[in-house]
Structure 1
Amino acid sequence: MRLNKYYLAAFSAFFIWGFFSLALKPLHNYPSLDILFYRVFFSVTTMLLINLCFRKKVLKKDWNQFKKMTAKQKRSVIVLTLGGGVFLSSNWFVFIYVMNHISVKAASLAYLICPILTTILAFFILKEKLSKWQWFAVMISVFSCVLLSLNHFEDIFYSLITAATYAMYIISQRKNSEIDKFLVLTIQLVFTALILIPFYPNYSGALPTESLFYGCLSVIVVCFTIIPLFLNLYALQGINSSAVGIMIYINPIIGFLIAIFYYKEQVTALQLFSYFLILVSIVVFNEELIFARKLKMAPSEIEGLK
């Protein structure tokens, strides 16, 4: 079934992000904002070079396509693309703030709240339909997050803000399908860089000189920024925001396993049970795909997949 490649793209994006700590941990002595600045600036430089050197035909094709659009279509593309850049840069800013000034648990909890928030917002904003099994999966997710937030209710507020920015990014890009996804991502990162530049002189530290910093940053830019973000946008072409949102759980599950088996961090029985419930919710949410049940689609939807 053709939809499988979109599920695979979404799964791959969040699977890759699950290993982010392996590249980020060696840079723990560097200020978080410096990592953010250079991550964005290097990503923009890399993507601009790729577009200008290898994708000139795509750029010309999309520019000609954009010129043929109606004024309403042009406005929609511009608003969704730049709006996505705002949500993406906001998410990175807020995540750094929560990580440094609130707590690591609040930042981690955001990744667990985000799929629930994405599913609910997509239901109300995009009118995406959910089956009774998918709603059941959402309820399981809510229960697991409540268990993980016990005795840490103050973290929920900050986690909700972090989760909401990324949830809105996913939802906004679901409708942004008029131009090439790699170009969309390039424009969004350029826009994010323009937002960050005014803050760079006052909030950046000394220019890093160690090869470790630039080596890890190269891995972060290519493997944990450009590739998964592109896969994320690509997945939204073929599956709805709720399905992509629920895949976010793959990220903290892998991070949780790395924390246990690689970094040897201590975990409680309650945490183990909560993460197990999250894994169950992913299976339940995608039960039609996993168990190869026949998807019920309208004739128009079937025609659109040809």
Structure 2
Amino acid sequence: MTQTVRGILAMISACVVWGLSSIFYKLLSDVPPLTILAHRTLWSAVFFALVLSVQGRFAQLPAALGNRRTLLVIAGASLTISLNWFFFIYSVNTGHATQASLGYYIFPLVAVLLGRIFFAESLNGWQMVAVALAAGAVSLLTWGLGVAPWISLILAFSFGFYGVLKKLLSIGPVVSVTAEVVLLIPISLTVLWIGGTHMDSPYQTALLLFSGPLTGFPLILFSYASRRIPMATVGILQYLNPTLQFLVAVLLFKEPFGIWYAIAFGMIWTALAIYSTAGARAASRRRKTASSTVSTTVTNSSIDAPAKP
């Protein structure tokens, strides 16, 4: 099995875990979302600390937290990812998992927009059309429902800003995520002390403890995959996550899916198809240009080289 195939399988596995995780959090619907978030943060910190210890990289953690600039960025990332986690849990436990899936469909287009704003990343014409179409979908849904899909927007933009902050960090993903959840441990312990742990039965306790590995394991798979497959492939496979979330919400949770959601999702899917196609074509042109440059360089080197006796 090649490294590329292993990377694709790891990416698919991570997306399947993320896409089906709403089923897990639905099992904890009788636990307040803030309490679930506190447990998820606490046991994620334990899981990641164990992973770093096994890898022999635990010493990198205090080094990351010791740099003032890095600490500020990590603190910002902690706030944005905890906001994202909370509203995902909240959406599942309050019957709005469909909005969660819409948020993660919107996220790639939000990421493109934020990349343009914060890093001056260029957008071609078709990518601008895709972003505009997504904005139109959200506007139409707001008009049709009479209220903005706030959960979708919060999930998309919180994860988008999380990506912006992560782009400013030079440390590895596991080290940075460990640092992020470590910073949140005091808040998590305070929440559990005030509101109770809700570990009322062995079953519930096991579920809450498992939220740590459930958070950490797919991230490790994602990190493994992203080093072995092209980013274009990573982006396309990522759509498996919101697709599974959508299917679980509509088919398993039986959430209502009216005409306005149908139109909005159709527009978002069209926007993603336009964006993916434009991105794939741009990547193909870059590869051809790079290949042509290398070929020209090799040819010129051969011409200039002295003849062998």
User: Which band: TM-score by shorter chain?
Assistant: 0.7 to 0.9
Whichever residue aligns with residue 274 of structure 1, its letter is: A
Paired amino acid for 1:78: L
Which one of 125, 141, 145 corresponds to residue 138 of structure 2?
145
Does the C-alpha gap of structure 1 residues 147 and 246 become closer, same or farther in structure 2, counting only changes over 3 Å? farther
Q: Of 181, 186, 190, which aligns to 1:194?
A: 186
Secondary structure of the 1:296 match is helix
What SS does the corresponding residue of 2:199 show, helix, strand or coil? coil
1:38 is matched with which residue?
39
Three-state SS of the structure 1 residue aligned to 2:123 is coil
Q: Summarize deviations over 1:182-229 as a string: whole Å, max 9, x none.
A: 111111111122333333322x23541323223333543323x11334
Partner of 2:301: none
Report if aligned partners of 1:13, 1:228 keep a CA contact under 8 Å in 2.
yes
**Does the alignment pair 1:276 with 2:262?**
no
CA distance in 1, matches of 2:69, 2:158: 19
The code of the aligned residue for 1:32 comes to P
Match of 1:212 in 2: 203
Where 2:143 maps in the other structure, the secondary structure is coil
Structure 1 residue 167 displacement after superposition: 1.4
Q: Residues 99-110 of structure 1: matches in 2 within 5 Å? A: 110=103
Matched with 1:51 is 52
Tell me: CA distance 1:96–1:218, structure 2 relative to 1, closer, same or farther (3 Å): closer
The answer to whether the 8 Å contact 1:18/1:250 transfers is yes
1:25 alignment counterpart: 26
| 1:179 counterpart (148, 171, 182) | 171
The CA deviation at 1:156 is 4.5
Which whole-Å CA distance do the structure 2 matches of 1:146 and 1:194 have between them?
A: 39
User: Is structure 2 residue 163 aligned with structure 1 residue 170?
Assistant: yes
Amino acid in the other structure paired with 2:185: A
Q: C-alpha distance in 1, partners of 2:118/2:226?
A: 15
Give the 5 Å matches for 1:1-306.
Answer: 13-52=14-53, 54-56=54-56, 58-60=57-59, 62=60, 74-93=67-86, 110-156=103-149, 160-176=153-169, 178-202=170-194, 204-205=195-196, 207-223=198-214, 225-230=215-220, 250-287=240-277, 294-296=284-286
Please tell me whether the aligned partners of residues 182 and 230 of structure 1 are also in contact (alpha carbons under 8 angstroms): yes
The question of whether the paired residues in 1 share the 8 Å contact of 2:226 and 2:234 is answered with: yes
Letter in 2 for 1:55: Q
Unaligned runs of 5+ in 2: 295-309
User: Measured at CA, do residues 292 and 232 of structure 1 come closer, stay the same or move farther in structure 2, by a change above 3 Å?
Assistant: same
CA shift in 2, pair 1:285/1:260, >3 Å: same
CA distance in 2 between counterparts of 1:10 and 1:112 reads 17
Q: Distance in 1 between matches of 2:270 and 2:70?
A: 37
Aligned partner of 2:41: which letter? V
- Quick one: distance in 2 between partners of 1:99 and 1:265? 10
User: 1:131-166 CA distances to partner (integer Å, 9 max, x unpaired)?
Assistant: 222222222322333333334454355654454322
| Counterpart contact for 1:138–1:281, Cα < 8 Å | yes
Give, in whole Å, the separation in 2 of the partners of 1:31 and 1:163.
23
| Residues 106 and 155 in structure 1, CA contact (< 8 A), matched pair in contact too | no
CA contact (8 A) 1:247 1:282 kept: no
**CA–CA separation in structure 2 for the residues paired with 1:250 and 1:142:** 22
Percent of residue pairs bearing the same amino acid type: 25
Tell me the TM-score normalised to structure 2 length: 0.72
Residues 245-276 of structure 1 deviation map (CA, whole Å, 9 limit, x = unaligned): 89775443322212233234442244334323
* TM-superposed deviation, 1:14: 4.5
The answer to whether the Cα contact below 8 Å between 2:40 and 2:212 also exists between their aligned partners in 1 is yes
Residues 105, 155 of structure 1: 8 Å contact kept: no
Shift of 1:106: 6.2
CA distance in 1, matches of 2:211, 2:175: 20
The 1:287/1:140 distance shift into structure 2, 3 A limit, reads same
Query: Do the aligned partners of residues 284 and 217 (structure 1) sit closer, same or farther apart at CA in structure 2, a change above 3 Å counting?
Result: farther
